[in-house]
């Protein structure tokens, strides 16, 4: 009974807000609701079957449900959630490179409010696992190159590419440079297309610890390599950078003795 009264009251308040307040004022209200604290508190917990280190990007709260807030308010609330989460908690949109996660994030109306996420997404980070993401790996998660290519082509559905932040991260506990060209071949067309439309695209390799919650140790900037990949010369710059980092670490350890 108490739940029904709460629902009826929310629906009434929502209807009055739609009738009496202009959209600019409503957006100001939504921005106040979606604070950093509330965004974190309403994040959907990761499903047991999901990949380690990633969570369901939906929030879990009645303010985004049409049956509690009414269809119009819930739709506006979810649009405001995408905007606030992209700015305040961008890690909300960090996903693994699986067919399911990319399809759901880019194409599916997971809030059930009649919203195409491709029209409101403003940031996206896709994490690759060096072992399971490569087609040549015996542990590859992809059935074939065509399926992987078509899945990544879904990114072209994103409507507002100008200013969009798109990050690709190759995560591995051990750098194996011979494995990276597979990623370069996959990413080059997408990076070029988003660059041409004014997006902010960043490509990195991350050396991280093993385990369900890996800790990043070292970041390698791959932006220039992806954009001007040369199969013969690309390794040299990476090797020189890694050598300089290792030398700096040795000197630091010696200084601490």
DSSP string, 55-116: ---SB--GGG-HHHH-HHHHHHHHHHHHHHHHHH-GGGGEEES-HHHHHHHHH--TT-SS--
Alpha-carbon span 190 to 176, nearest angstrom:
23
The structure's pTM equals 0.86
pLDDT of the residue at 143 = 95
Q: What mean pLDDT comes out for the span 15-27?
A: 91
Alpha-carbon span 14 to 71, nearest angstrom:
10
pLDDT band, very low/low/confident/very high, at 240 (cuts 50, 70, 90) = confident
pLDDT of the residue at 90 = 93
Classify 128 as helix, strand or coil. Answer: strand
Structure confidence by residue, pLDDT tens digits, 130-171:
889 999 999 999 999 999 999 999 999 999 999 999 999 999
**Residue ranges of domains in the chain:** 1-91, 122-257
Alpha-carbon span 141 to 128, nearest angstrom:
11
What's the first-to-final CA gap in the chain, in angstroms?
Answer: 69
pLDDT of the residue at 50 = 41
pLDDT band, very low/low/confident/very high, at 243 (cuts 50, 70, 90) = confident
Classify 166 as helix, strand or coil. Answer: strand
Quick check: 174 pLDDT over 70? yes
Q: Which long-range contacts (CB under 8 A, 24 or more apart) does 143-150 make?
A: 147/99, 148/99, 148/186, 149/186
Structure confidence by residue, pLDDT tens digits, 23-58:
999 999 999 999 999 999 888 765 433 444 455 667
Tokens of 96: 């693994």
């Amino acid at each position: 009974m108490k739940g029904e009264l709460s629902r009826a009251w929310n629906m009434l308040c929502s209807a009055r807000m739609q009738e009496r307040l202009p959209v600019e004022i409503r957006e100001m209200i939504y921005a106040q609701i979606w604070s950093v604290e509330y965004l974190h508190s309403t994040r959907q917990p990761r499903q047991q079957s999901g990949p380690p280190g990633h969570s369901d990007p939906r929030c879990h709260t009645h303010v985004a449900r049409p049956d509690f807030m009414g269809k119009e308010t819930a739709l506006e609330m979810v649009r405001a959630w995408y905007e606030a989460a992209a700015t305040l908690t961008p890690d909300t949109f960090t996903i693994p490179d699986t067919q399911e996660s990319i399809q759901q994030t880019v194409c599916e109306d997971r809030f059930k409010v009649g919203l195409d996420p491709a029209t409101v997404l403003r940031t996206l980070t896709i994490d690759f696992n060096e072992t399971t993401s490569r087609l040549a790996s015996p542990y590859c998660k992809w059935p074939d190159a065509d399926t992987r290519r078509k899945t990544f082509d879904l990114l072209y559905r994103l409507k507002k590419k100008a200013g969009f932040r798109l990050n690709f991260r190759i995560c591995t506990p051990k750098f194996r440079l011979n494995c990276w060209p597979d990623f370069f071949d996959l990413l080059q067309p997408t990076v070029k297309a988003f660059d041409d439309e004014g997006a902010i695209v960043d490509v990195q390799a991350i050396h991280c610890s093993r385990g369900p919650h890996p800790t990043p140790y070292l970041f390698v900037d791959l932006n220039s390599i992806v954009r001007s990949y040369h199969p013969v010369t690309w390794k040299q710059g990476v090797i020189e950078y890694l050598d300089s980092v290792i030398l700096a670490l040795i000197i630091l350890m010696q200084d601490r003795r």
